[in-house]
Amino acid sequence: MPKPHVPRTRLTDYPSAAWVIFAGMFVNKFGNFLPVFLVLYLIDEGYSAGEAGLALSIAGLGGFAGNIIGGTVADRFGRRTAIVLSQFGAGVFTAAVPLVHGLWPTTVLVAVIGVFAQLYRPGAGALLIDVVPQQQRVGAFAVLRLAINLGMAVGPMVGGLLSGQSWTYIFVGDALSCVVFGLLSLFLLPGGRPVPAAADGPAADDVSTAGDDATTKKAKPERQGYLRVFTDTPFLFFLFSMVCATFVYAQGNATLPLHVSEQGFSNSFYGLLLGVNAVVCILFELPLTRWTERWNPRFAIMVGLLLLAVGMSATGLADNKSLLVVTVVLWSLGEIVYTPISSAYPSAFSPAHLRGRYQGAEGLAHTAGQAIGPAVGGYVFAWSASAHWWMCAAVAVLGALIVLPAIPGDRDTGDAPSEGEEAARLVEDGTQDSLPTGGRPTIPLPESGQ
């Protein structure tokens, strides 16, 4: 079977709707001040570090609900509707934070913000899949991550300056960034509802003929909604792999600073390490993705998670600044190998009318890893730092192995075959003798068991 050929995509090849998503995500992450400064704000208001941490955790629980609800809204009412509702809702409630007093009223408010703040993610991912051709999606998600990383690299510095003037500026600035993304989406993104489930699909009557007699048989109705998503066994393997990946990646914010402190280095050096991560992602993600997008997706995810395993677990052996920088570079390379591909991979499983829910489930997997990772990691690190770093290696390797059976197989995802795929199919069927002159088929790597 011929090797796949993925044509190189120029940035100008992406449709305008994709650029709206890129620009909106940059603005959104640039102004994403609330989760960064919430703990400091609550402590400044007189609450304990534990109470402030609890409020942030509850906001994270809101994110769980936001991913699930957002997937349903995106599929039922449209991608643009989900994004606009998310951004305007998050903007209004974020602007109200300085007006609310008391720990529990503030905690409830940030939980509501958590729901709205994550509501857009499935819709944005599904819309990117809708408008970007299949073979350009990995590159599109790499550009999306570049926009996110740029926003997150610059935004907190601006937020730090604003917080020095007034906490109100923090929340108003966050709210404005949400409103800007909402307005961009409202006026520049395509509207309408997504493609509904085919009426003549598997749930419809199936008529088969044998000789002159026609018999009608009822096909078993397909599961729909999240029931279908969470009973899709190959996709569940992928989700569990992403939980493992995010569990380990979250240690960069949870236990890496503890290790840096134990080695006698300052908080500013820890900040430098996070800067190294950002620089590696910004400089190398797009060039590296042009290469890795040609790989089998499961192989690319596996390689990325193995690099994450090596880099994160080696942190326990790093007792000087140079070695710590090397470990960060290693797990950062792992991040940029697996993340763009894993972001696009749900589109290989999801029919067009369920893309929002599949994207929501993927976001839920990452949210679960972010919630479990710091809690378990912090506990194990306090018990035994050495055991903690070995645990990181084991969990990342487990994720690399779990993704291997995540094979979507033959399913209707609503994507039209490319010219190369169609030509390759004709050759395999024997209905065409050869490929067009100079053409190479654009087909996935052969999957085991197919």
**Does the pLDDT value for residue 425 go beyond 80?**
no
The pLDDT tens digits of the residues spanning 42-74 come to 888 888 877 887 787 787 788 889 999 999 999
Q: Cα 69 vs. chain centroid, distance in angstroms?
A: 16
Confidence of residue 206 (pLDDT cuts 50, 70, 90): very low
89 is a domain residue: yes
Average pLDDT of the residues in 421-429? 42
445 is a domain residue: no
What 3-state class would DSSP assign to 207? strand
164 is a domain residue: yes
Residues 48 and 109 in one domain: yes
pLDDT (0 to 100) of residue 305: 98
The pLDDT tens digits of the residues spanning 246-293 come to 999 999 888 898 899 889 988 788 888 888 998 999 999 999 998 998
pLDDT (0 to 100) of residue 3: 44
437 is a domain residue: no
374 is a domain residue: yes
**Does the pLDDT value for residue 404 go beyond 80?**
yes
User: What is the chain's mean pLDDT, rounded?
Assistant: 83
Q: Which of 150, 172, 194 lies at the terminal end of a domain, its last residue?
A: 194
pLDDT (0 to 100) of residue 214: 41
Residues 297 and 372 in one domain: yes
pLDDT (0 to 100) of residue 266: 84
> Which CATH number characterizes residue 15's domain?
1.20.1250.20
Residues 347 and 272 in one domain: yes
pTM of the predicted protein model: 0.80
Residues 137 and 250 in one domain: no
The pLDDT tens digits of the residues spanning 103-139 come to 899 999 999 999 999 999 999 999 999 999 988 899 9
Confidence of residue 86 (pLDDT cuts 50, 70, 90): very high
Residues 165 and 36 in one domain: yes
Residues 172 and 62 in one domain: yes
Residue appearing with tokens 């699930």? 68
Mean pLDDT is lowest, of 146-150, 170-174, 196-200, 435-439, for: 435-439
CA distance linking residue 73 with residue 89, whole number of Å: 14
pLDDT (0 to 100) of residue 271: 80
Average pLDDT of the residues in 304-312? 97
To the nearest whole percent, how much of the chain has pLDDT over 90?
Answer: 53
Confidence of residue 444 (pLDDT cuts 50, 70, 90): very low
Q: Which is more confident, 427 or 69?
A: 69
**Whether 241 contacts 309, CB under 8 Å:** no
pLDDT (0 to 100) of residue 370: 85
Average pLDDT of the residues in 14-33? 93
Residues 266 and 386 in one domain: yes
Closest CA to 224 of 358, 129, 80, 83: 358
Q: Supply angle C-alpha 389, 249, 131, rounded to 5.
A: 160
450 is a domain residue: no
CA distance linking residue 361 with residue 381, whole number of Å: 29
Average pLDDT of the residues in 211-238? 71
Confidence of residue 420 (pLDDT cuts 50, 70, 90): very low
**Does the pLDDT value for residue 441 go beyond 60?**
no
**Does the pLDDT value for residue 198 go beyond 80?**
no
pLDDT (0 to 100) of residue 281: 92
CA distance linking residue 312 with residue 363, whole number of Å: 22
The pLDDT tens digits of the residues spanning 91-107 come to 999 999 999 989 899 99
Domain interval for residue 147: 10-194
pLDDT (0 to 100) of residue 313: 94
CA distance linking residue 343 with residue 346, whole number of Å: 7
Closest CA to 121 of 156, 85, 167: 85
User: Mean pLDDT highest for which of 140-144, 189-193, 207-211?
Assistant: 140-144
pLDDT (0 to 100) of residue 120: 94
Side chain identity, residue 219: A
Instruction: Please give the structure tokens belonging to residue 131.
Output: 């408008």
Q: Which is more confident, 192 or 27?
A: 27
**Does the pLDDT value for residue 88 go beyond 90?**
yes
Confidence of residue 209 (pLDDT cuts 50, 70, 90): very low
Residues 57 and 153 in one domain: yes
**Does the pLDDT value for residue 193 go beyond 80?**
no
pLDDT (0 to 100) of residue 156: 81
Residues 165 and 241 in one domain: no
Average pLDDT of the residues in 428-436? 40
pLDDT (0 to 100) of residue 335: 95
Residues 164 and 240 in one domain: no
Residues 272 and 182 in one domain: no
Q: Which residues contact 376 (CB under 8 A, 6 or more apart)?
A: 247
Q: Which of 147, 174, 194 lies at the terminal end of a domain, its last residue?
A: 194
pLDDT (0 to 100) of residue 221: 52
Confidence of residue 201 (pLDDT cuts 50, 70, 90): very low
The pLDDT tens digits of the residues spanning 321-343 come to 999 999 999 999 999 999 999 99
**Does the pLDDT value for residue 207 go beyond 70?**
no
**Does the pLDDT value for residue 223 go beyond 70?**
no
Q: Which is more confident, 62 or 358?
A: 358
pLDDT (0 to 100) of residue 254: 83
**Does the pLDDT value for residue 436 go beyond 60?**
no
What 3-state class would DSSP assign to 205? strand
Residues 170 and 86 in one domain: yes
434 is a domain residue: no
430 is a domain residue: no
CA distances to 9, 84, 181, 193 from 88, in Å: 33, 6, 9, 20
How many folded domains does the chain comprise? 2
| Segment (H or E) for 398 | helix 385-402
